[in-house]
Structure 1
Amino acid sequence: MSTHDLYTNALREPVWQVSASGAGRFSWEYEDGRERLLALYQKGKDKQWDGAKRISWELEVDPYNPLGIPDELVPLHGTRHWAKMTEKDKGDLRRHYASWHFSQFLHGEQGAMICATRIVESVPDLDAKFYSATQVMDEARHAEIYGRFLHEKIGMLYP
């Protein structure tokens, strides 16, 4: 199912373009570079995780209380509005609340991935590009996990 079908509000534009300037830098030096930075790059590669394997996606999640939070942690709890809500309304509120929060994390991770990509293209040395690329991969995994959680477990996203 398309993400667009799961958004609570219709998108005005399917893609949000943000102008950016700067030069991409190619390095023609392919010999081993700075040992410390290359060691960090190796450590980054060694410590990578795969969200499809590290997370038990078969676990059931209640989409109407995906975080399993008690009523007292819902911002409207204790108000006259909360008192008037049915259990279904309270579940819908929890679902929207969790969907909104996780959607913001998802969009933020995509932004972090774009920023990390810009670092890769702008650092001058190849070894610095290697290390910076591990951050791009890390942000990609975060976006993957938040997107999958929203699609498969909550079934709703916010633009």
Structure 2
Amino acid sequence: MALSDLYPIPDVDPVWSVPQGFEAAFDWRFDEGRAHMMHLYQKGKDMQWDALERIDWALELDSDNPMGVPDEMIGLYHTPFWAKMSEKERAAARRHVQAWTISQFMQGEQAAMICAAKIVQQVPDLDAKFYAATQVMDEARHVEAYKKFLEKLGLAYPMTKPLQTLVDQALRDQRWDMTYLAMQVVIEGLALAAFGNIREIARNKLTQQLNAFVMQDESR
């Protein structure tokens, strides 16, 4: 099943292409590399995990509040609209808000994966390529995990326009360090804060597991 089949928004383009204009750099020195970079590379290898095996996907999601998040976290909560909603409508609102949130996590992780792959090609030093390659694998695993969560939830959303604009700017810039800055500091920095927030407030066991393992990678 394609996750886009779960989008409640019709006619979403299934493919988005960003033009690239940069040179791929080969490092033919094959030297020992800088100690701190090789340490990060080794740490990345040692801390790999399998999203299908490590997370207990048999854990259930509550249909009325899948992630077990307090209603106060919903933007409509303190409005007259929320007061007028039936319990069925509130359950639907929770489900859509939570699906939207996890969807943006997943969309951002794919963006980070593509940014990291670009850095692997552009960065001049082999040790940095090694480290960036572990990030590609990390982000791929996160996309896989969030995709599986959304399939279990039965609802997903496409990337928002503001996030798409940010990713577009990060990828179009020909300088690898600017792509890295946008990915690591802006996109991943915002994501890490959001992951931490979910970790603190979500009461669903599957949600807690998923975010704990993703945060383990992001905080390396």
TM-score by length of structure 2 reads: 0.66
Q: Tell me by how many angstroms 1:72 deviates.
A: 3.1
**Equivalent-residue separation in structure 1 for 2:42 and 2:78 (angstroms):** 52
Shift of 1:31: 4.7
2:72 aligned partner: 72
Structure 1 or 2: larger helix share? 2
Q: Which residue of 2 aligns with 1:84?
A: 84
**Quick one: which amino acid aligns to residue 22 of structure 2?**
G
Can you list the C-alpha shifts for 1:14-38, whole angstroms capped at 9, x where unaligned? 1011112111112223353334322
1:156 and 2:181 matched:
no
Moved more, 38-47 or 62-71: 62-71
TM-score, scaled relative to structure 1? 0.90
Question: Could you say which structure has the larger radius of gyration?
Answer: 1
| Structure 1: gaps of 5 or more residues | none
Question: Higher relative contact order at CA 8 Å, sep ≥6: structure 1 or structure 2?
Answer: 1
Secondary structure, in 3 states, of the residue corresponding to 2:106? helix
Per the TM alignment, residue 109 of structure 1 is displaced from its structure 2 partner at its CA by: 0.7
Task: Let me know the Cα RMSD of the aligned residues.
Answer: 1.6
**How far does residue 57 in structure 1 lie from its aligned partner after superposition?**
0.9
Task: Count the aligned residue pairs.
Answer: 158
In structure 2, give the amino acid aligned to 1:13.
D
With over 3 angstroms needed to count, the CA separation of the structure-2 counterparts of 1:104 and 1:16, relative to structure 1, is same
After superposition, what is the alpha-carbon deviation per residue over 1:27-55, rounded to whole angstroms, capped at 9, x for unaligned? 22335333432232111101122222221
Q: Which residue of 2 aligns with 1:93?
A: 93
CA contact (8 A) 1:63 1:155 kept: no
Question: In structure 2, do the counterparts of structure 1 residues 12 and 61 end up closer, same or farther at CA, with 3 Å as the change threshold?
Answer: closer
Letter in 2 for 1:39: H
Gaps of 5+ in 2: 159-220
SS at match of 1:61: coil
Aligned to 1:42: 42
8 Å CA contact retained: 1:8, 1:157 = yes
In structure 2, the residue matched to 1:55 is: 55
Could you tell me the percent identity over the aligned residues?
A: 54
How far residue 61 of structure 1 moved from its aligned partner, in angstroms, is 0.7
